[in-house]
Structure 1
Amino acid sequence: MLLFDLSYRFLPRPRLLLLCGVAFGAALVSIVDGGQLHVGMTEPAIAQPLPTSPSPTPSILSPTQMPVGAATVQQGAQITLNGRSIAVPWMQWRSPTGDRRTGITDAGLQSIMGIQFLNTDNVAQQPFQWFASKASLPTRLTSSLRYLDITDLAQQAGWQVQATPETLQIVTPAAKVMGIRQSKQSWGDRWVIEVDRSIPWQTDFQGQELVLTLEAQIDPALVQPLKPNSGTDRQSLKLESISTHQSRLRLTLPAGLRPRVWSTSAPDRIVVDIRPDSLVEQNILWAPGLRWRQQIVTVGNRLMPVQWLEVNPRQPGLSMKPIVPNPTSMLGTAPLAQTATQNQVAAAINGGFFNRNRQLPLGAIRQDGQWLSGPILNRGAIAWDTSGNTLFDRLTLQETLMAGNGQRLPLTHLNSGYLQAGIARYTNHWGSTYTPLSDNEIVVTVQTNQVSQQQAIAKAGTTSVPIPTDGYLLVLRSNQTAASLLPPGTPLQLESATNPPTFNQFPHIIGAGPLLIQNSQIVLNPQAEGFSQAFITEMAPRSAIGQTANGTFLLVTAYSRLDGTELSLMDMAQLMQQLGAIAALNLDGGSSSTLFLGGEVRDRPPRTAARVHNGIGIFLAPNP
């Protein structure tokens, strides 16, 4: 009978000499004899899954480049894997020879099969490793998703693949979990799961628990409680038999440690390393002009896991714009993944600040030359155009009304949730109506450059006022005097200027702050941008956007150092400098920090990402 035993007992097998290397250490030799594998508590080395530099294209599956313009046969967003339904986009198309090809999005293939991507500079091929398979999958790019052709892989692995009008059905060969063992390493724990063949697996995180679902039947003996003094931390592991096709392992993760899950062969094994440096380096040219990277970076003698996108703004067919959850209103927030999907972008990062309770913007958003929301407090902003020109600086917008009676009335803010005594302006980019944000507001309606009416509204949150399509609203807060200067019939002219003036030349602007880097120098000064002392001293996950000397944009998220401590603003400035940024802007952070690519959040469990008001989206033109 097969026993779950971490002194490494296995099913009987012929006498075999195994040459193993200790992970990150010296090699050792062990003898398997009569089902006993005699080793110490240091697990024999298993070849690491991912290289740290772009890999040559392997040839096991002899892949060919995806033909441009291949006709789509059908597509959907649901896959059943051995009878279990999973939301993953898929597509089928005809090759030039008439063969039907099947593709699954890269994020979906990783999440449901456990396939590990290797580094590549070839946008037409995605190298991968999965047990003994090491090959490349042809890619097919749409405006927002990257599909990988799994046709040959499925045939090689023995998968049965069939498409219905709405669902792609995949059935994998029956498999068994043959043994599980644990070993202590200097960096943490290693769990090794032996299976009798290559199998798909899925990982999920539920709090401090890793849930590993295996497309294999688990031996009943493994589920039984262990004998006392078996030499394993049994309390951290729970085993469940789900069906004849599936089983589940639940591992409790120590604080500050994360899992690295990968596969190897001879024999087929799934390896779970619980360690602080679990992030595997990746450098993948995901689409023309769009590279996906992750790496552990040394900043100030401390190691920091970082994930980022490198974007070439001069790449034909690629563009970058601000994105918001609701194109008809500035009210509302949503997870970045939802906003990105609605806007059909290939990639995105969270943007500027907002009021979480009111779900209103607190900073500059300019899209296609239109101010959706104006800047506040002279905070840092980035501006860019379609030619790759950019500006990183602190930004103010000064608007002034000139009344027919000669009075000049300065305005405080434009389409903003930031409240200040004075006169604020709201256009139809705010929405179709305005509802008072504070008590005792006076709302002045302006149409065709003339005051049409005034309303005094005593209570915030009541009496929505229509915003005219041929004008705007002026909202007077603690400013009764200005109301007497704006009676109905008063003609008005509006002057608007940015400081620095160059900002006004750019169609796209996102404001956040503080400004981190200008001219290759750290210029961090959060006090000058009106940030509170609590914000300035806070340690938190961070997001930022920067630009390198060759014009490449860097969209960066970082959550903590390897020692578990989160990041200061100076940490983020130094990180951006380390990545090669000559200019950089801090974006909203904390639970807002989110990096999205190809239909999925890539840098954190999606359920942990907060709702955000706006982001920066990367748009791709689809293949013809």
Structure 2
Amino acid sequence: MRTRTGLALVALALVATSVGLLPDDPAPRSPDARGELAAGEEDQPRQTSDGLPGEIAEDLLPGVSPRVQTSRARSWRIAPGVRYRRFEQSDRRGRYRVHVVSVRPSVRGVRLDYASLAKVPRRGRLTRLLRRDDAVAGVNGGFFDIDDTGAPLGVGRDRQRGFLHAAKYTWKNAFTTSRTGGLRIGPVTMRAGIEEHPEIEVTNVNSPRVREGKVGLYTRDWGSTSGYSITDGQRRRVRAVHVEDGRVVSRSSRLTSGEAITGSVLVGRGPGADQLAELRVGSKATVTASIPDRFTFAISGETVLLRHGRIAARDDVYLHPRTAVGIDRDSDRVLLVAVDGRQSFSRGLTLVELARLMRRLGAEAALNLDGGGSTTVAGLGRGRKALRVLNSPSDGSQRPIPDGIAVLAR
């Protein structure tokens, strides 16, 4: 039988490439006052934005799925085409509580959208985000920079506001809807650049971090300048270029903080800063940024759990509260799923267990969203009462988050 240390090493080797331990990401954990990590953190891959170490699940024999028993089921219709269901399941590893919002986008008046506040880095409780769109239900969104800017790490597109943020090389897996009603889980590629300077690579748009040696773009949707927090504190060989109406209006080797962004601000680090030095005040600079036009809504997750009904997740070690979105093409449903964890009545799930759950619920494709203390599901109560939290967040209350998936219905 594997030891606890062996389990941690296996999980780190298998999962590190799929959980965001990549150059574009903010530091996954913050050291304490002594500059040291909390006990147990150093050997665990980052699976939630809060970076808390997960309990190690009891080992199971390879290829053997634990027998699952279901109890305490209840459900109600939130709106035509939208239904909420809650139940508990137990197996050899213990109990866990599952929450499912089942959505039929083909029903007239039902649609999914990106839930957020007015600016990309701003955070609020899920219920606040959902009320902005008069949503009837929703779940928390993707991973975000919890210790600094508060901004999402991946792709975001709102039906009304359009494309908001993305990174070119990381956090590309996303759940999307198209203009023709298509549903998809897979990579979304962002394109950004300066038409007059194609040699300058823009790798991030409204992201928490400018990629080292490259150039990031910040727009009105970001809000105000963030100083050196977006360059990991790097102060030398950095440059900011302000563009309005297709012209460079200012440039500086110092980064400001708290100034409202009008037009666009390009921020470079190292070689990227050197390239931006070519842009002179008054020169033309046509800045563009987009994801494919066919997507009307997009939100990033992390690990793809299911592809064509087959389990794609690998980690079966760490238990956490989990949130996921799945596509059931046979019954024309989108499944928004939250699993409580870090509590006595609900142990949480590993990523492999989450993938199995999504498959049992009928999904052929599924994507892991942010978990841990972020895991939240909200919806109208029985009898169309006010919007409320339907699960038990592990922090004891709703954690402020930057985005989520909103369910709208007439």
Structure 2 length-normalised TM: 0.71
How far apart, in 2, do the equivalents of 1:337 and 1:307 lie? Answer: 16
From 506, 513, 516, the equivalent of 2:295 is 506
Are residues 1:616 and 2:405 paired? yes
- How large is the Cα RMSD of the aligned pairs? 2.8
Q: Which of 335, 340, 344 is the equivalent residue of 1:559?
A: 340
Distance 1:507 1:318 in 2: 14
How far apart are residue 602 of structure 1 and its match? 0.7
**2:144 counterpart residue number:** 354
Pick from 420, 429, 432: which aligns with 2:211? 420
Q: Which amino acid aligns with 1:542?
A: R
Matched residue, 2:175: 382
Instruction: Tell me: CA distance 1:343–1:436, structure 2 relative to 1, closer, same or farther (3 Å).
Output: farther
Q: Which letter does structure 2 place at the counterpart of 1:464?
A: G
2:354 maps to which of 555, 567, 572: 572
385 and 424 in structure 1: CA distance in 2 versus 1, 3 angstrom threshold: same
* Matching residue of 1:399: 192
Identity among equivalent pairs (%): 24
1:472-511 → structure 2 map (5 Å cutoff): 472-478=264-270, 479-494=272-287, 496=289, 498=291, 503-511=292-300
Residue from 224, 230, 246 that aligns with 1:449? 246
Asked if residue 408 in structure 1 is aligned to residue 199 in structure 2, the reply is yes
Aligned to 2:128: 338
Cα offset, 1:548, TM superposition: 0.3
Q: How does 1:194-343 map to 2 (within 5 A)?
A: 280-297=72-89, 304-324=96-116, 326-327=117-118, 329-343=119-133
Report if the CA contact (8 A) 2:84-2:102 is conserved. Answer: yes
CA contact (8 A) 2:171 2:302 kept: no
Following TM superposition, by how much is the alpha carbon of 1:278 offset from its aligned partner in structure 2, in angstroms? Answer: 10
Rate the CA distance shift 1:314–1:594 in 2: closer, same or farther, 3 A.
Answer: same
Counterpart of 2:376 in structure 1 is 594
8 A Cα contact 1:543 1:588, kept in partner: yes
Count of aligned positions: 323
Contact 1:382/1:391 (<8 A) preserved: yes
Match of 1:584 among 366, 372, 376: 366
- Residue 516 in structure 1 maps to residue 305 in structure 2: yes
Unaligned runs of 5+ in 1: 1-276, 527-535
Instruction: Give 2:40's aligned residue.
Output: none
CA 1:420 to 1:525, structure 2 compared with 1: closer, same or farther past 3 Å? Answer: farther
Distance 1:466 1:305, change over 3 A: closer
1:146-177 CA distance string (max 9 Å, x none): xxxxxxxxxxxxxxxxxxxxxxxxxxxxxxxx
Shift of 1:525: 6.4
The corresponding residue for 2:392 is 604
Query: In structure 2, do the counterparts of structure 1 residues 408 and 591 end up closer, same or farther at CA, with 3 Å as the change threshold?
Result: same
The verdict on how the C-alpha distance between 1:450 and 1:568 changes in structure 2, with shifts beyond 3 A counting, is same
Q: Please report how far the alpha carbon of residue 363 of structure 1 lies from its aligned counterpart in structure 2 after TM superposition.
A: 1.3
Give the TM-score of the pair, scaled to structure 1: 0.48
Instruction: For residue 565 of structure 1, report the CA deviation from its aligned partner.
Output: 3.7
Structure with the bigger percentage of strand: 1
AA of the residue aligned to 1:541: P
- Structure 2 unaligned residues grouped into runs of 5+: 1-68, 381-386
Contact 2:210/2:268 (8 A) holds in 1? no
Asked which structure has the greater RCO (Cα within 8 Å, sep 6+), the reply is 2
Structure 1, residues 41-74: CA drift from partner, whole Å, max 9, x if none? xxxxxxxxxxxxxxxxxxxxxxxxxxxxxxxxxx
Could you list the runs of 4 or more consecutive aligned residues of structure 1 that deviate by over 6 angstroms after TM superposition? 298-302
**C-alpha distance 299-444 of structure 1, shift in aligned 2 (>3 A):** farther
Name 2:23's counterpart in structure 1: none
**Alignment check: 8 A CA contact 1:344 1:619 kept:** yes
State the secondary structure of the residue aligned to 2:356.
helix
Letter aligned with residue 388 of structure 2: E
* 1:397-439 per-position Cα deviation (integer Å, ceiling 9, x unaligned): 1323232xx6521111001113322100011111255544234
* The 10-residue stretch of structure 1 (288-297 or 579-588) with the greater mean CA deviation from structure 2: 288-297
Going from structure 1 to structure 2, the CA distance change for 1:304 and 1:386 (only over 3 Å counts) comes to: farther
Q: Deviation string for 1:298-321 (max 9, x for gaps)?
A: 779976431111001111122211
The 8 Å contact of residues 299 and 578 in structure 1, kept in 2 or not, is answered as: no
Partner of 1:372: 164
> Between Structure 1 and Structure 2, whose CA radius of gyration is higher?
1
Q: Is the 8 A contact 2:95 2:346 kept in 1?
A: no
